[in-house]
A and B are shown apart, each in its own frame.
Chain A
Amino acid sequence: MAKKSTVLQYTRVKPITNVWISILFIFLALLCLMPALLVLIVSFSSEASVRTIGYSYFPREFSAASYIYLARQSNYIGRAFLNSIGVTIVGTFLGLLTTSTMGYALSRPNYRLRKFFTWFIFIPMLFSGGLVASYMINAQILGLKDTYWALILPICCSSFYCIIMRTFFQTTVPDAIIESAKIDGARQIRIFLQIVLPISLPAIATIGLFLTFAYWNDWMMAKYYISGNKHNLFPLQYVLISLEENISFLTRNQDMMTAGTASQVPSETIRMAMVVISVVPIACSYPFFQKYFVSGLTIGAVKG
């Protein structure tokens, strides 16, 4: 918008209209933010306050009891947190590997199979085997059920990301660089790793972020492929899904561990605290990465 010339100042809306538009957007922004704020405040409310006045923006008393409680359960919550981190890192790495190599291949004008593979990745966008066939293959033939791979492999690549990569390589990596490297005798793998990837960091960052957030937020794979009793495989999102059971699981555990000592489990605020724990990494990081998402969207909107 900086490039708009001064003439355009005269095309601005009237000040009063600007006020109305501002109010509209402030309202919408608050609409998006307030629910998150409520959950945050509830997670820091005392259990007694929640029991008397319910979930409220203005609790009677603040308390970090639920977090202290969760910290004590670190073997369970900590495990889920580490699972989520591990799955996210490995998944993002594999996702970048698969999408960038395919994107690179499709961006090379001289590649003889380019047309074939463009269709090869495009067809799955139109037609898919559906949940039943995928489930049967992943669970029964590949044996992914109740493994970490079930959380990673089925969603690591996507045609949409491949196309974004391809478009990016096409527009920002000059053909001349690759040709001159070839003349110098470099192999494609070396060209890709040492020349193309380093100058394509913005694209890598964009797709990497898409993947990171997708993996961190994914709960479908766990719901499909992880059995309810395999607690050590649960990612955070799945812990949230089965929270009702898990709170009773935690309480039972607690009773076993601290048998005899009467312990109050802040079960009302615990769930909100766990929601906060899973949201904080995202909520704190996305404003800084926003520009990458916007640029990814812009490239993605260019038609394939």
Chain B
Amino acid sequence: MVQAGEKSARVRRRKAGSNGSSFDNLEIFLLHLPTTIWYLIFCYAPMFGVVIAFKNYRPRPGKSFLWALINNSKWVGFDNFQFLFKSSYFETMMKTTVFYNIVFIILGIVIPVTLAILFNELYSKRLAKTCQTMMFLPHFLSWVVISYFVYAFLATDQGLVNNMARKLGLAVEKNHNWYTDVNFWMYFLVFLNVWKGMGYNMVVYMASISGIDAELYEAALIDGATKSQQVRYITLPLLRPVISIMFIMAVGNIFRSDFGLFYQATRNSGALVSVTQTIDVYVYKALLERSDVNLSSAAAFLQSVVGCLTIVGANLVVKRIDPESGLF
């Protein structure tokens, strides 16, 4: 025993000696150098690219992007932003993005937490496993695939919904064109989002619940706590750190939207623009369909900067309420 103790002490001393080995540091640095380069090119270079938002970008055929940006594009200050704010889309797209995100944040926490708590109460573990696997499926499907699932139900001529309506002789319009129905999509987008994330998000909370010490529940049981009291005084408080991390992440993304949901799942239907034109959809359309670099870069800049401020702000607020729950 004594020998082993001495040995480990020696190892520790030697370890301390190798701490500052600059050779070691260099080797580790070289090991992650490719990743560092990737970050510089694909994450940090675009950060400097945000200057496009303050320029009047004018490409010139035959010249490179950098040349055009530096030599051919004037600094215009906040002109691009002023133009964006004045455009008729601006208000709609801000409202759409923020409104949906608030709904998604609330439902994205309430529903999976509720489901996770209920899920743990299932008697049959085999049933639980099967259901969980099935509920996981939508998470692994791309929005492109889901758009076809939706199409199978909502297509005007062949769609299952219209067919059922026809067969049952419902009073609704016989060939209802769902892809132009704004009122329907307003709710259906929320449903799709919940449907796709339900199984995945449930697992996040279930993992935390199963990590809760069983003795807490035993103690509560001995004290005569009912099931709902156990949930209220043990499960929920112990889930708070995870919930607040998910909350901060979601709030930080409040100006971002799932491009696939709003653009792909709706089949980019022109009639639905008033409920589907989020900032991301706008930026995409402005850049790749209208080649309007100035407006799209202003919108993208706004999204990045405001998004960054909201995530830092949300973290501060959460930390003030509960110092343990911050993300950073």
- Residues in A lying within 8 Å of B, measured CB to CB: 1, 3-5, 7-8, 10-13, 15, 17-18, 21-22, 24-26, 28-33, 35-36, 38-39, 42, 50-51, 53-57, 97-99, 101-102, 104-105, 108, 110-113, 117, 120-122, 124, 126-138, 140-142, 153-154, 156-157, 162, 176, 179-180, 182-183, 187-189, 192, 213, 217-220, 224, 237, 240-241, 268, 271-272, 275, 278-279, 282-283, 286-287, 290, 293-294, 297-298, 301, 303-304
Contact = CB atoms under 8 A, between A and B. Distances in A.
A245 to B, nearest CB: 14
Contact of B160 (A38, A98, A192): A38
9 contacts: A30-B134, A98-B35, A99-B35, A112-B20, A124-B43, A128-B47, A128-B304, A188-B24, A297-B203
Given A140-B65, A271-B148, A31 B195 contact: yes
Contacts of A268: 158
Contacts of A113: 25, 28-29
Contact of B49 (A112, A136, A156, A283): A136
Nearest to B207: A298
B210 A42 contact: no
Contacts of A136: 49, 52, 65, 293
Contacts, number: 310
Contacts of A50: 158
Nearest to A179: B15
Interface of B: 11, 14-15, 18-20, 22, 24-25, 27-32, 34-36, 38-39, 41-50, 52-53, 64-66, 115, 118-125, 127-128, 130-138, 140-145, 148-150, 152-153, 155, 157-160, 162-163, 195, 198-200, 203-204, 207-208, 210, 214, 217-218, 220-221, 227, 230, 241-242, 245, 252, 259-260, 264, 280, 283-284, 287-288, 293, 296-297, 300-301, 303-305, 307-308, 311-312, 326-328
A21 B122 contact: yes
B135 A133 contact: no
B34 A101 contact: yes
Contacts of A283: 137, 140
Given A5-B218, A217-B142, A286-B140, A120 B36 contact: yes
Nearest to A283: B137
B127 A98 contact: no
Given A127-B308, A283-B140, A297-B203, A105 B149 contact: no
Contacts of A99: 35
